[in-house]
A and B are shown apart, each in its own frame.
With several copies, the nearest count.
Chain A
Amino acid sequence: MPILSYLKALGRALGDELAADERVCVFGEDIRVGVANVTNGLLKRFGPDRVVDMPISEQAFTSFATGAALAGRRPVLEFQIPSLLFLVFEQIANQAHKFPLMTGGQAAVPVTYLVPSSGSRTGWAGQHSDHPYSLFAHVGVKTVVPATPTDAYGLFRAAIQDDDPVVVFAPAAAMGVREDVDYATLVPVPLGVARVHRPGTDVTVVAVGHLVQTALSVAEELADEISVEVFDPRTLYPFDWTGLAASLDRTGRLVVIDDSNRSCGIGAEVLATAAEQMRLVAPPKRVTRPDGAVLPFALALDQALQPSRDQLLTAVRAVAKGG
């Protein structure tokens, strides 16, 4: 079977949506040339009316996409850096997100915001290494963080097909993931439905994005000791609470590993909702970035602030024993 890389999966999803729906179009910087390696070849295939290179005017082109969406298009925006989402937070959270309710249902804003290589890219330092998905979960903008090439393909397509704004985070650390796939089986993956990568009975590990691989490897290492269920929410907002409750019904123990800042991150939301409503037989744990983290440049410092395999291992062991 052919091998699909995460990046290729994103490019393929975009190409397939452009081909399937004339309303879909792509905006971004350097997308003609495909600097981020997602849009390569699309200009030639779909022309400059569908694949539109933009000046460094993120705020304007984000609201430009909103306007185009209000007029019937389904734009996909590519951002070169995760923190550019800070720059356009007003345009997404206060404009695009609010149109349907504020207009009493007259408007829809089907725009997809893609951040290839989100999170820390080694050596890109403080202003290029944020992973701000929890911010969108807070304001209520649909947020997906695919972990595998198949899910990257499927969730990205579903995001484009969705009638609401959706932010798609493609973690830099997931870019290396490859999968044997039969292209014919690649299909959209519905938003809001989690995926259990590995079933288990002792501890549920909720892992976000690239950390799914970390969780799988920890589960494997602990296999003789603790039966770990690896739960990949895939969509952080709306979250698959039903799926999580079912998992905790089995395990009653919870660890979340999440590459965003601790305070008010998605890890907090998972623990809070579980503590309120689900079966927990021991105190749960989070493995996250520190509060307010700014990733320092030097490699060892950068890595010291990211949630690690060792931390997860320790947390799973502690939660398995706790209660």
Chain B
Amino acid sequence: MPDAVALYRTIRLIRRFEERAIELVRSGDIVGGVHPYLGQEAIATGVCAALRPDDVITSTHRGHGHVLAKGADPARMMAELAGRVTGLNRGRGGSMHAADFSLGILGANAIVGAAGAIACGAAWAGMLAGSDRVAVTFFGDGAVNQGVLLEAMNLAALRRLPVLFVCENNGYATTMPTAGAVAGTITGRAAAFGIPASTVDGMDVSVVLDAAREAVERARAGAGPTMLECLTYRFDAHHTFEHRVRLRYRDDADVAAGRSRDPMQIQGARLDPDERTRIDVAVETVLDEAVRFALASDHPDPAGALDHLYASGLRARPGVA
């Protein structure tokens, strides 16, 4: 299991990766923008620290943190965001679909709430194959009102699947405050299906890690799914388009309060300052290289636009004949 330094390193990596990605959005190298994970880093970090390489995860539109924490190469991830052939998905997926199946990363998903049932199916397949592999599905507070996710919880509970439902409650779904959309409670949704659930501080990676470890152990032992609601705050925009168009839905006090506890500072404070500096420098080197790699990589050839459309190799008819 990773120590405090490794946890800090991952948080720092995600933090700086996101800041670098935002720069590339501004420079036009990343087209379409991103949903920054800034402020939520402790959750991906803590949860993935409790996982083995063969465990699987599904992620969301706000997925960079999950993908990095599960071990994806930052350079190939950055190349994916920049739409290059060297990207994780060969430039076909971009920010919202980044995946690395070799690392158990079954993909970010652009549809809110859609991935939970996919994680359950993967968990089931693993369980029946005799593995004690666990599946984690990340989702936001907005997703707990999506029917398919609630259906998936029922399936997970019914079949005692080794699934961890991780809700990142960052207070908002786009501009909608959690309380405006969630009647009852988030953990209550798990309880409805007999799934144990707890609410934890999502800003302290050690708290997240402890809770995730316990849930993962339960799952591996065959005791079924768990839900963790991790309280957090989105430090930046819902999506980088907000950097251009100001939307009024969080007032300054709200933002200040939300940002007052920073997962990077919280974990950083636990490190020796020199060591922390050393890691910061190392992370920066990794990201310098990631950006360099991404921008130096080739754009995909338009002639291959339909490549991979069918796993069977079927070639689709073109749009002109």
Chains A and B belong together in one complex:
yes
- Which positions in A face B, CB cutoff 8 Å? 29-30, 32-33, 35, 37, 49, 53-57, 59-73, 75, 81, 83, 87, 90-91, 94-95, 99-110, 121-128, 140, 142, 162-164, 192, 238, 241, 262-263, 273, 276-277, 285-294, 296-305, 307, 311, 314-315
Nearest CB on A from B31, distance (A) = 4
Q: Which of B117-125, B197-205, B272-280, B284-292 contacts A (4 or more CB under 8 A)?
A: B117-125
A103 CA to B103 CA, complexed, in Å? 13
Asked if A64 and B92 make an inter-chain contact with CB atoms under 8 angstroms apart, the answer reads no
**Bound Cα distance from A75 to B124, whole angstroms:** 12
Please tell me which one of the listed residues A104, A110, A142, A314 contacts residue B88 in the complex, with CB atoms under 8 A apart. Answer: A104
Which residue of the partner chain A has the closest CB to B308?
Answer: A105
A296 contacts B300, C-beta separation under 8 Å: yes
Query: A287 CA to B319 CA in the complex, in Å?
Result: 6
Partner of A262, one of B80, B147, B152, B317: B317
Inter-chain contact B111/A292, CB cutoff 8 Å = no
Question: Quick check: A305 and B319 within 8 Å, CB to CB?
Answer: yes
The listed residue (B109, B151, B300, B303) touching A59 by CB distance below 8 A is B151
Pairwise interchain contact A33-B181, C-beta atoms closer than 8 A: no
- Which residues from chain B contact A140 at a C-beta distance below 8 Å? 309, 316
State A73–B120 Cα separation when bound (angstroms).
13
Contact with B309, one of A162, A292, A299, A304 (Cβ below 8 angstroms): A292
Asked whether any CB of chain A lies closer than 8 Å to the CB of B32, the reply is: yes
Chain B binding site: helix, strand, loop or mixed by DSSP? loop
Chain B positions 123 through 153: 1 when the CB is less than 8 Å from some CB of chain A, otherwise 0: 1111011000001000000110111100110
CB-based nearest B residue for A265: B319
In the complex, the answer to whether A63 meets B145 with C-beta atoms within 8 Å is no
Contact flag A290-B318 (CB < 8 Å), given A57-B151, A102-B97, A126-B97: yes
Q: A55, A73, A95 — which one has the most chain B CB atoms within 10 A of its CB?
A: A55
Q: Which of B92, B101, B121, B142 contacts A297 (CB 8 A)?
A: B92
Instruction: Given contacts A66-B118, A83-B111, A91-B148, list 15 more A-B pairs with CB under 8 A.
Output: A57-B145, A60-B152, A63-B148, A64-B152, A67-B118, A94-B114, A103-B101, A109-B311, A110-B311, A126-B92, A162-B312, A164-B311, A192-B314, A291-B316, A301-B92
A64 and B121 contact, Cβ closer than 8 Å, known pairs A125-B97, A290-B318? yes
A304 CB contacts on chain B under 8 angstroms: 302-303, 305
Cβ contacts under 8 Å, A273 to chain B = 321
- Interface residue B107 (Cβ < 8 Å from any Cβ of A): yes
Q: Cβ of A300: which chain B residues have Cβ within 8 Å of it?
A: 299-302, 305
CB within 8 Å for A128 and B110 given contacts A59-B148, A64-B120, A100-B309: yes
Residues on B with beta carbons closer than 8 Å to the beta carbon of A303:
302
Whether B155 contacts A35 by the Cβ 8 Å rule is no
